[in-house]
Every structure is written in structure tokens, then in C-alpha cells.
Chains A and B, each alone.
Chain A
């Protein structure tokens, strides 16, 4: 394989004249190609072609002064509690909440959020806001979603629910810690939940 193919022509003696032997210009490229493909394979395997996607998450600041907080209308609030085994518990408002559970399918939590959005829109109409990216005045309904993952929730559940926020274009959502009250509420919804209306929500985005 790796020989230089030599022409036997050109080496004839002709009329006593001595000619220098002509070498062929053809070289066997096989080893070079071998090496080339080896390197290609190496680079292909070590390359990360697709960059990973990222999802930006903005958390509210830890210490916000009481007078800088803005109370939120109760009927605009939807609380999602992320429970065990990919379950989502949700309730609306805080007075006499009705607990229900759903899942992460398209007809599950998404339907719940969309329904609540329609309700808020009917009740309050559309409000104007300034798009913080384009500085345009736009109209939209103001639904506040409180996301409360329990300790049994998986990280996947959190990402899924944040994903739902961007799919349903919820502008205000916040991740909060689940309270003892709510944990008991999940265990035994019949007893209901009674707590002082101290729920505050800050815009998460």
C-alpha cells in the first residue's frame, strides 16, 4: 500500500545518453487520509455542537421594606403547590380556598392557569402595562401566580411549572416556600385553610 508507484519508463538508455531517472509525481495518500479521518472522529466526539439552553429566573429581593410592597387583589391570585409524584395542587385566593389537584399535561395545569386568566380578565378587564423589554404600552391581564414547591417536589416540576408560566404568558409569578398550613391543607383539604391574609407577591419578571 504505502509504496511510491514508480514508472518504469524514462529509465531507458537511448543512444548512449544517460538520463536521470524520473520519479513519479503520484504519492500514496492513504496514511494521510487515515490520519485525517482519525482526527475528524476525535474532534467530532469531543465537540459540543449544540449549546445548552438557559432559562432566566429572577427571584425577589430578600429584604423589601413593608411600604415598598404592593398588596395584591386576592381574586387575582392563583397558588400552585408542587407535590409528590408530579402532582400539582392549586387553589384560588385565600378566603375559603378550594383545593384541587392536577398534573403537568397540556390539559392539566395549563388549563387551570388559562381558566384563571380568563376569570381575572372578566373581572378586572385588561390593564395597561409597559413592556419592560420594548418599552411599549401593552394591555394584558394581571394574574399573580404563587409557586410553592414542597419538599417532595422534584427539580423537574419546578422547571415545568416555570415553563408553563412562559407558555401561558403569566407576567407575575414568584417562587415561595410552602407553609405548614398549606402542607396540612394538602393532606386534609376538607378541613379548609384559614389564615390571615398576609400573602404578598412581588413580580418575578
Chain B
């Protein structure tokens, strides 16, 4: 009788199937990917039963941190460029073309108008580390109002020129533990410039009126 040898499997495995799956997933993620926007501060939003989703259209986000600092961020490079042009001539910010360009591609900001020039000249990686006071939004010194107002005008102008399709959707994103007066300042600022309709960003929560799994 010949000796029974165990069959040797080849050490080479056919990877084709795995590659197929991997690249299918890769394609899926690449197509659905939308880069996480860099937030100026970490904000833990409260939850609500609202099921409305944030629209894809241009948003103007007012971030209120836990400590009550106000940050502003808006979508659209063209609009940002038009906005900073306006603000620069209106308030003599003393920005040159390069700094304006930097503003148009920067993310959210939370500095006073006078400090904006210095902030823009920092490398982007250092901006988030800078201790900032937020945009002043109380009644005695309100810079948030002009920013939002001019941003809406700029967006409107861009819409007329056909560069964007929608007006800004104003979104307020505040932390669970933000003290109410900070939010109140923001709301008052908005109603002062006739923005009476805006949205609060929340996490989802189960609606007690709907039974889980039902309807």
C-alpha cells in the first residue's frame, strides 16, 4: 500500500472575489462620501423627535459652544468671496486679495472683525487651536447680525447671477448645555434682521406617539 499523503493545499488563495467586494464597497463609499465639515468647536446637540433632515442646499450655520461662544460657517465659495468683499469695504477690515481668498476657502470662524486679519494669516492647522472669544452677539456689541445679513445678501446676489440655486437655510447648532442667554442673543439677533424662520439642529429621538416598529 502506498503511503497516504495529506493533500497539500496551495498557499495561493484566489483573491478575486474579495477584491471585487472590496472595490465595490470602495466605489460605494467614494460616491456617497461627503467630507466631514471641520467644526470650529465640538458641539453635542440635544435630541428631539423631529424627523426633518438638513437640506442639501446652502446652509449658514451658527454654532454656539458650551461656553456660549458664537461661530459662523457658511457654504459656497463664491458667496463667501462676495461676503468678505462686502464686509471688507463696509467695515474697513484691511484685507488684501490673498486674505480674502483665504476667507473664501476657510471653514467656520469665531473671531471679532478686528482680529479676522490675524486669524486668516494663521496656517489652517493652527486656527482651531487659537483661543477665541466667538463673534460678539449681544445687544451692546453685535457683529453677528451684520455677518448674517450680508451673507444672505451675498447669497441672493449669487443666486441672481446663477452661481447658486438656493437661498441660505439658517441653522442654529448649539450644545445641550449652552446657557439659554447665549442662544437668546442669537435668536434676538436673527429676529432683528428679520430672519424669523430658522432651524435648530438636533439628534434623533424616538417619538412617544409612535409605537416602535409600527406605522
Contacts and interface: CB of A to CB of B under 8 A. Distances in A.
B105 interface: no
Given A155-B64, A166-B50, A33 B22 contact: yes
B37 to A, nearest CB: 8
Nearest to B45: A52
Contacts of A46: 33, 35-36
Contacts of A44: 29
A62 B192 contact: yes
B46, B51, B53 — most chain A CB neighbours (10 Å)? B46
Contacts of A30: 15
A177 B139 CA distance: 15
A162 interface: yes
B32, B34, B48, B205 — most chain A CB neighbours (10 Å)? B48
A183 to B, nearest CB: 13
Interface in A33-54: 33, 36-37, 39-40, 43-44, 46-49, 51-54
B18 interface: yes
Interface string B91-120: 000000000000000000000000000000
B196 interface: yes
B165 interface: no
A29 interface: yes
Contacts of A152: 179-180
B57 interface: no
Interface stretch (B129-137, B144-152, B155-163, B168-176): B168-176
Interface stretch (B1-9, B79-87, B182-190): B182-190
Interface residues of A, number: 49
Given A37-B22, A53-B203, A59 B180 contact: no
Interface size class of B (residues with CB under 8 A): 35 or more
A44 B28 CA distance: 10
Interface of A is mostly: mixed
Given A58-B196, A156-B46, A51 B179 contact: no
Given A53-B203, A167-B207, A175 B191 contact: no
A55, A106, A163 — most chain B CB neighbours (10 Å)? A55
Interface of B: 12, 15-16, 18-19, 22-23, 25-26, 29-30, 32-36, 45-54, 64, 171, 174-184, 187, 190-192, 194, 196-205, 207-209
Given A62-B194, A155-B175, A159-B200, 7 more contacts: A46-B35, A47-B36, A54-B50, A150-B180, A155-B174, A155-B183, A167-B208
Closest 6 CB pairs of A and B: A43-B29, A36-B22, A54-B199, A29-B15, A155-B178, A55-B50
